[in-house]
Amino acid sequence: MQKINVRDLQKMKDDNNKVSWLTCYDYSFASALNASELDLILVGDSGGMVNLGYKNTNPVTMDEMITLTSAVRRGAPDKFVIGDMPKGSYEVSAEKAIENAMRFSKESDCDAVKLEGGLHMVKQVKAISQSGIPVFGHIGLTPQSSNSFGGYRIVGRTKNEQEKILDDAKALEQAGVVAILIEATPDGIGSEIAKSVDVPIYGIGAGAEVDGQLLIFHDLLGIYPTFRPKFAPCLVSKVLPDFLESISEIEDMKEFGRATKKDGFWEITRLVANEFNRMVKSGEYPDSDHVYN
Ligand code: KIV
pLDDT digit string (tens) for 177-199? Answer: 999 999 999 999 998 899 999 99
Q: What is the largest CA-CA distance in the chain?
A: 63
What is the number of residues in the chain?
293
| Catalytic center residues | 183
- Kindly state whether residue 1 falls inside one of the protein's structural domains: no
- What's 88's domain CATH number? 3.20.20.60
- 147, pLDDT greater than 90: no
Domains in the chain, number: 1
Confidence tier at 153 by pLDDT (50, 70, 90): confident
Burial 206-228 (b: 16+ CB within 10 A, else e): bbbbbbbbbbbbbbbbeebeeee
- Kindly state whether residue 207 falls inside one of the protein's structural domains: yes
Are residues 114 and 143 in contact, defined by beta-carbon separation less than 8 angstroms? no
Confidence tier at 170 by pLDDT (50, 70, 90): very high
**Nearest CA, atom 6, ligand 1:** 46
Q: What is the pTM of this model?
A: 0.96
- Kindly state whether residue 284 falls inside one of the protein's structural domains: yes
- Calpha distance 220→131 (Å, rounded): 35
Task: Note down the domain range covering 230.
Answer: 6-290
**Nearest CA, atom 8, ligand 1:** 44
Residues with CB under 6 A from ligand 1: 23, 42, 44-46, 84, 138, 181, 183, 204, 214, 216
- Kindly state whether residue 79 falls inside one of the protein's structural domains: yes
